[in-house]
Structure 1
Amino acid sequence: MLTDSIWLVVGLALMPALGNISGGLAAEVCRATGRHLNYALHGAAGLVMAVVAVEIMPPVLTTLPAWLIAAAFALGGLAYVGLEKLVDSVQENRGAGAQTSVWMIYIAVSVDLFSDGLLIGAGSAIAPSMALILAAGQVLADVPEGFATIANMKDKAIPRPKRLLLLAFFIIPVLAAALLAYFVLRHQPKSFQLAALTFTAGLLTVATIEEMIAEAHETRADTRISPLAFTGGFVLFILVSAGLEQAVAQG
Structure 2
Amino acid sequence: MNNLWLVVALALLPGLGNFAGAMVAEFIRTTPRLLNFALHTASGIVIGVVAIELMPEALNNLAGWWIALSFAAGGAVYIGMETLLEKKQSAKSGGGSTGMWMIYVAVAVDLSGDGLMIGSGSAVGISLAIVLAAGQVLADFPEGYSVVANLRENGVARKRRIAVSLSFPLYCLGAALLAWFLLRSAPDAAKYVALSFVAGLLSVAAVEDMLEEAHEAANDNRSSALAFVGGFVLFTLVSSGLETVLSEGGASGGQGGSGSQETGEASNAT
The 5 A counterparts of 1:53-132 are 53-95=51-93, 106-132=104-130
Out of 154, 157, 160, the position equivalent to 1:159 is 157
Deviation at 1:107, TM superposition (A): 3.8
Is the contact made by 1:77 and 1:202 (CA closer than 8 Å) also made in structure 2?
yes
Counterpart of 2:33?
A: 35
CA distance in 2, matches of 1:77, 1:103: 19
1:7-63 CA-to-partner distances (Å, cap 9, x unmatched) read 111111111101110001111221211111111111111111111111111121122
Counterpart of 2:169?
A: 171
Counterpart of 2:198?
A: 200
Counterpart of 2:258?
A: none
TM-score using structure 2 length: 0.87
Q: What amino acid is the match of 2:144? A: G
Gapped regions of structure 1 (runs ≥ 5): none
CA distance in 1, matches of 2:14, 2:94: 30
Deviation at 1:149, TM superposition (A): 0.9
CA distance in 2, matches of 1:81, 1:111: 11
CA distance in 2, matches of 1:37, 1:5: 37
Deviation at 1:229, TM superposition (A): 0.7
Out of 245, 248, 251, the position equivalent to 1:250 is 248
Deviation at 1:162, TM superposition (A): 2.5
Is the contact made by 2:22 and 2:145 (CA closer than 8 Å) also made in structure 1?
yes
Q: Alpha carbons of 1:108 and 1:42: their partners in 2 closer, same or farther (altered >3 Å)?
A: closer
3-state DSSP of counterpart to 1:176? helix
1:93-112 CA-to-partner distances (Å, cap 9, x unmatched) read 221699x8776554443222
1:171-193 CA-to-partner distances (Å, cap 9, x unmatched) read 21111111001111111111110
Q: What amino acid is the match of 2:93? A: G
Gapped regions of structure 2 (runs ≥ 5): 250-270
CA distance in 2, matches of 1:199, 1:193: 10
Aligned residues: 248
State the identity as a percent.
51
TM-score using structure 1 length: 0.93
Deviation at 1:139, TM superposition (A): 1.2
Out of 181, 184, 189, the position equivalent to 2:182 is 184
Q: What amino acid is the match of 1:161? A: K
1:105-162 CA-to-partner distances (Å, cap 9, x unmatched) read 5444322211111111111111111011111121111111111111112112222232
Deviation at 1:250, TM superposition (A): 2.2
CA distance in 2, matches of 1:74, 1:215: 23
Counterpart of 1:241?
A: 239
User: Deviating runs (4+, > 3 A) in structure 1?
Assistant: 100-108
3-state DSSP of counterpart to 2:61? coil
Deviation at 1:78, TM superposition (A): 0.9
Using the TM superposition, name which of 107-116 and 171-180 deviates more.
Answer: 107-116
The 5 A counterparts of 1:13-52 are 13-52=11-50
3-state DSSP of counterpart to 1:48? helix
Is the contact made by 1:91 and 1:104 (CA closer than 8 Å) also made in structure 2?
no
